[in-house]
Amino acid sequence: MTAEKMRNLLRPYLDEKKYPLPNIQKRAQLWKEVGEGIIRDYNGMVLNLVNCASQDASRLVELIVTSFPGFRDEVYIAPSSSSSSPSQHQQQQQQRLVFLKRAQIFVGDINAALRLQLNGMERLTTFADYRVPQVLRHWKILVYSPLLSNKVDNYIEIKKDSYEEISIRAATIIVVEELVKLLNQNNSSNDNDSINTTANNNEQCKYTDVTVDWYLWQVGERMHQEGIMKPFHKVRTYFY
Q: Does 82 map to a domain?
A: yes
Q: Does 159 map to a domain?
A: yes
Q: What SS3 class is residue 80?
A: coil
Q: How far is CA 147 from CA 19, 138, 188, in A?
A: 30, 17, 42
Rounded Cα–Cα distance for residues 174 and 126 (Å): 9
pTM (two decimals): 0.84
Q: Does 37 map to a domain?
A: no
What region does 47 belong to: left with phi over 0, alpha with psi -120 to 50, or beta?
alpha
Rounded Cα–Cα distance for residues 117 and 115 (Å): 6
Which pLDDT belongs to residue 181?
95
DSSP labels for 179-231? HHHHHHHTTTT---TTT-TT--SSGGGSS-HHHHHHHHHHHHHHHHHHT-SPP
Full residue range of the structural domain in which residue 70 is found: 45-226
The tally of domains found in the chain comes to 1
The H or E element containing residue 86 is helix 86-91
The single-letter code of the amino acid at 236 is R
Going residue by residue through the chain, which has 240 residues, state the pLDDT in tens, using 9 for 90 and above.
899 999 889 888 888 888 888 889 999 999 999 999 999 999 999 999 999 999 999 999 999 999 999 999 999 987 764 444 444 454 467 889 999 999 999 999 999 999 999 999 999 999 999 999 999 999 999 999 999 999 999 999 999 999 999 999 999 999 999 999 999 998 766 555 555 544 444 444 589 999 999 999 999 999 999 999 999 999 999 999
Q: Does 187 map to a domain?
A: yes
The H or E element containing residue 95 is strand 95-98
Q: Does 216 map to a domain?
A: yes
Q: Does 234 map to a domain?
A: no
Q: Does 88 map to a domain?
A: yes
Cα dihedral sign for 135, 14, 238, 57? positive
Q: Does 77 map to a domain?
A: yes
Which pLDDT belongs to residue 92?
62
Residue-wise burial string across 192-229, b where 16 or more C-beta atoms lie within 10 A, e elsewhere: beebbeebbeeeebbbbbbbbbbbbbebbeebbeeeeb
